[in-house]
């Protein structure tokens, strides 16, 4: 098992890196490791409503800067730049073919369990969380997509790689760029976040946080 002190040191090491060293690149092996930790992340019902696009093409990075005001320096300097896409309702609604095929082909569930789990998922969407329209369903699925974001940034920090999560972009304009330049079906996927990986140029100031007593209540 990993030493608890080492884990906490990785969390202290991680910060929102604003500028990366263009002379240092994340190796393919390290980047694949980071992406695999995202892939292995948990999701509600285990349905993995995400897809990750690693943007290395300089022209596309430059194009993204038109609508990503919070990512300009990162797009210019990051070793690797990842887009976190979230599935929309045609894929995540309880009666979608994706959900049924996922339970059958990926989770390899028997037909009787597929029926039971499908009924639970339908009740969850209709009653428990009131996921009654496309926007609510996307926002709920997007929450799942943020779990691998956190895991990827943490796993990167544990091997000495910096990162920066980004929400500073115009969602509709950015999705149009992805549709026009990458052929992404924006009826099926929406852009939830961007995240940059690389190696820091400057050391950050010491991390500040509220105390454990201020954020946790034991009853």
Domains and CATH numbers, the chain: 34-92+138-200 (3.40.109.10)
45-92 pLDDT, tens digit each: 999 999 999 999 999 999 999 999 999 999 999 999 999 999 999 999
Residue 181 burial (10 A CB sphere; 0-12, 13-18, 19+): middle
pLDDT at 165 (0 to 100): 98
Q: Give strand ranges (E) for the chain.
A: 50-54, 80-87, 162-166, 189-198
> Residue 44: is its pLDDT beyond 90?
yes
| Tokens of residue 45, six digits | 């019902």
Mean pLDDT, the chain, rounded, equals 97
> Residue 148: is its pLDDT beyond 90?
yes
* Cα gap 82→80, rounded to integer Å: 7
Instruction: Please check whether residue 184 is in contact with residue 83, taking contact to mean a CB–CB distance below 8 angstroms.
Output: no
Instruction: Please check whether residue 159 is in contact with residue 33, taking contact to mean a CB–CB distance below 8 angstroms.
Output: yes
Closest CA to 79 of 36, 30, 37: 30
> Residue 39: is its pLDDT beyond 90?
yes
Give the predicted TM-score (pTM) of the model. Answer: 0.95
> Residue 1: is its pLDDT beyond 90?
no
Closest CA to 67 of 139, 170, 199, 213: 170
* Cα gap 145→44, rounded to integer Å: 10
pLDDT at 215 (0 to 100): 97
Closest CA to 75 of 196, 198, 199: 196
150-193 pLDDT, tens digit each: 999 999 999 999 999 999 999 999 999 999 999 999 999 999 99
Model confidence band, residue 2 (pLDDT cutoffs 50, 70, 90): confident
């Amino acid at each position: 098992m990993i030493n608890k002190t080492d884990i906490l040191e990785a969390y202290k090491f991680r910060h929102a890196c604003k500028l990366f060293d263009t002379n240092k690149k994340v190796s393919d092996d390290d980047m694949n490791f980071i992406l695999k930790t995202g892939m292995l992340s948990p999701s509600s019902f285990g349905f993995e409503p995400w897809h990750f696009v690693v943007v290395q093409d300089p022209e596309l990075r430059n194009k993204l800067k038109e609508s990503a005001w919070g990512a300009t320096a990162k797009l210019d300097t990051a070793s690797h730049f990842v887009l976190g896409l979230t599935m929309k309702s045609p894929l995540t609604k309880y009666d979608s073919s994706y959900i049924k095929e996922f339970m059958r082909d990926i989770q390899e569930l028997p037909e009787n369990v597929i029926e039971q789990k499908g009924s639970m998922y339908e009740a969850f969407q209709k009653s428990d969380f009131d996921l009654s329209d496309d926007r609510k369903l996307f926002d709920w699925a997007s929450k799942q997509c943020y779990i691998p974001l956190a895991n990827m940034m943490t796993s990167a920090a544990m091997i000495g790689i910096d990162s920066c999560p980004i929400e500073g972009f115009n969602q509709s304009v950015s999705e149009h760029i992805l549709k026009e330049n990458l052929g992404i079906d924006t009826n099926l996927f929406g852009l939830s976040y961007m995240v940059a990986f690389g190696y820091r140029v400057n050391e950050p100031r010491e991390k500040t946080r509220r105390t454990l007593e201020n954020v946790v209540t034991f009853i």
